[in-house]
Amino acid sequence: MRDVALLIGELTIPSGNTNSNVIDFRKLPLSGITIFAPAELTGTVKIYVSPSIDSYGTSYWNLLQSGGSDIEIGAGDAVPLDYVGWHHLKLVSGSNEAAARKFILLGVEDIT
């Protein structure tokens, strides 16, 4: 068995906003992901995850933590998440972003 890195997609926080779009992980057989942040950020970005989104687009979002601390993404950071135990993920900045901010996501898939 070996691991292969796959491009999952992008999350973007639009200019003047705090929330990114949402990525659905339900059909992606991943054992982990890495989030690559842009070189500039206006606010501190945190990761929110959800077990589901209903037909009305609403959900219960939970702040992703590790060891009891919020996981934060800084400018130019690459943040690895070793376990994908949720269905949906979005990013939320603590401030309205001064420009559109794109985050690249790579996933790790085990193949035999």
Tokens of 11: 């999350």
Domains and CATH numbers, the chain: 2-111 (2.60.120)
pTM of the model: 0.89
Dihedral sign computed on CA atoms, order 100, 98, 74, 95: negative
User: What mean pLDDT is predicted for residues 1-25?
Assistant: 88
Tell whether the model's pLDDT for residue 42 goes beyond 80: yes
Tell whether the model's pLDDT for residue 2 goes beyond 80: no
Tell whether the model's pLDDT for residue 54 goes beyond 90: no
pLDDT of residue 51: 84
Confidence of residue 26 (pLDDT cuts 50, 70, 90): confident
